């Protein structure tokens, strides 16, 4: 995650009007430090040293709670490398946050004691970004094949503790061809839910346009992984691809209206639905589509800038 959004005071953006804050999740990006450097990461070298203090993080959470929010997510960077993450999570739980999510690369959960302490601190939802199903894929993306074994141990530790993680699968030029094999591998370790994230061309990754695949080209593999998940009873869904780009698989697209997220970073505050990293742009071709301004919130701007809008075809009926 980056600071891609509009700078505003707490809930002062235009998107705040008429919002039921009780249905909004505060996504607290406390900083951008990380223990690895993935090749697709949007966090620049200049951003990595930027971090909130513990007091600043607690102040943001207190403000969100006062407005009625009871859901919080911690992202980064890599939140699990912060020594204050678990005390902050416990502080949030004790003050009424009853849904606490941590988005992570999963490495710290390889240490069983850390996984147990995270659960004890009140973390309810564990999200782990996965790069594939083989060590070589981790070497290509994260720089070292050893991270693969650590993530496997981390997932196994959480599953054994009764907290099955959700695995965020990163779709990029060198991972899309084996989406089905990746889902099958991690399903064998007990995982049931797999959001598909199309890599974004923002900030540090903006100068790597070839990392973003065209949906038209990857459609056969998307269809294969959707069919596999249907047969296996798994929950695989896309977050960034409009329904019209994957005909026949509309039910495998996440309803973006559910993303009521208020993002707080060390440098900005903004609503996710107003951000460059969200699917929030309609084209003239969208008019007349049965999903326009409903389940579908449009396409991502970076995708349209890269490939244009010829894949946008309104769905009638």
* Domain annotation covers residue 249: no
Determine, yes or no, domain membership for 255. no
Give pLDDT, residue 16: 44
| pLDDT (tens digit per residue) in 2-57 | 444 434 344 444 344 455 688 899 999 999 999 998 988 888 788 888 899 999 99
The pLDDT assigned to 179 comes to 98
The answer, yes or no, to whether residue 1 has pLDDT greater than 70, is no
Residue 280, pLDDT score: 76
Q: Is 45 exposed, middle or buried (0-12, 13-18, 19+ CB in 10 A)?
A: exposed
Q: Is residue 119 domain-resident?
A: yes
Per-residue model confidence (pLDDT) at position 277 = 56
Mean of per-residue pLDDT scores for the chain: 90
pLDDT at residue 9 in the model: 42
Residue 7 is predicted with a pLDDT of: 41
Q: What is the CATH number of the domain that holds 266?
A: 3.20.20.70
Both structure tokens of 42:
């949007």
Contact present, 72 and 28 (Cβ < 8 Å)? yes
> Is there a domain that residue 238 lies in?
no
Counted domains in the chain = 1
Q: Each residue of 116-160: pLDDT tens digit?
A: 999 999 999 999 999 999 999 999 999 999 999 999 999 999 999
Q: Find the mean pLDDT for residues 55-67.
A: 95
pLDDT of residue 308: 96
**Phi, psi of 131, deg, nearest 5:** -105, -5
Query: Does residue 149 form part of some domain?
Result: yes
pLDDT at 48: 83
Query: What would the DSSP string read from start to end of the chain?
Result: ----S---STT-SGGGTT--GGGPEEEEE-B---SS--TT----TTTTT-B--HHHHHHHHHHHHHTT--EEEEESS-GGG-TTHHHHHHHHHHTT--EEEEEE-SGGGGSHHHHHHHHHTT--EEEEEE--SSHHHHHHHHS-THHHHHHHHHHHHHHHTT-PPEEEEEE-TTTGGGHHHHHHHHHTTT--EEEEEE----GGGGG-GGGS--HHHHHHHHHHHHHHHHHHT-EEEESSS-GGGSTT-GGGB--GGG--EEEE-SS-EEEGGGSTTSEEE--GGGTT-TTBTTTB--EEHHHHHHH-STT--PPP-
Q: Which domain holds residue 82?
A: 14-213+260-277
CA distances from 130 to 109, 152, 201 (A): 13, 10, 19
Give me the pLDDT at residue 276, please.
54
pLDDT digits (tens, 9 = 90+) for 65-106: 998 999 999 998 999 999 999 999 999 999 999 999 999 999
CA–CA separation, 28 vs 222, rounded Å? Answer: 31
- The answer to the question of residue 164 being in a domain is yes
Residues 257-292: pLDDT tens digits? 677 888 899 988 877 766 555 667 899 999 989 998
Dist CA 6 CA 276 (whole Å): 9
Is residue 308 one of the residues assigned to a domain?
A: no
Quote the pTM value.
0.90
Nearest-angstrom CA–CA distance, 166 and 235: 10
Residue 252 belongs to a domain: no
71-75: strand order across its sheet:
235-238, 193-198, 166-171, 125-130, 99-104, 71-75, 25-29, 261-264, 269-271
């Amino acid at each position: 995650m980056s600071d891609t959004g509009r700078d505003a005071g707490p809930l002062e953006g235009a998107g705040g009007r008429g919002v039921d804050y009780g249905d909004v999740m505060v996504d607290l990006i406390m900083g951008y430090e990380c223990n690895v450097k993935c090749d697709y990461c949007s966090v620049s070298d200049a951003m990595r040293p930027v971090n909130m203090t513990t007091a600043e993080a607690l102040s943001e959470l207190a403000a969100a709670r006062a407005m009625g929010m009871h859901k919080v997510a911690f992202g980064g960077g890599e939140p699990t490398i912060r020594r204050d993450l678990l005390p902050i999570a416990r502080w949030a739980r004790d003050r009424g946050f009853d849904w606490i999510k941590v988005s992570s690369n999963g490495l710290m959960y390889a240490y069983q004691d850390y996984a147990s302490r995270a659960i004890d601190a009140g973390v309810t939802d564990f999200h782990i970004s996965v790069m594939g199903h083989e060590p070589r894929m981790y070497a290509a993306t994260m720089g070292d094949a050893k991270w693969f074994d650590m993530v496997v141990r981390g997932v196994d530790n959480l599953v054994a503790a009764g907290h099955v993680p959700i695995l965020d699968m990163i779709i990029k030029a060198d991972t899309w061809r084996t989406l089905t094999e990746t889902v099958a591998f991690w399903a064998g370790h007990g995982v049931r839910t797999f959001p598909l994230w199309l890599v974004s061309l923002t900030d540090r990754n903006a100068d790597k346009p070839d990392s973003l695949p065209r949906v038209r080209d990857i459609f056969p593999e998307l269809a294969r992984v959707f069919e596999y998940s249907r047969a296996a009873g798994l929950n695989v869904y896309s977050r960034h691809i409009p329904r019209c780009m994957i005909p026949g698989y509309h039910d495998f697209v996440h309803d973006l209206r559910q993303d009521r997220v208020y993002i707080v970073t060390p440098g900005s505050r903004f609503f996710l639905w107003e951000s460059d990293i969200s699917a929030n742009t309609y084209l003239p071709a969208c008019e007349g589509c049965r999903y326009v301004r409903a389940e579908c919130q449009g396409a991502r701007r970076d995708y349209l800038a890269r490939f244009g809008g010829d894949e946008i075809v309104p769905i009638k009926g």
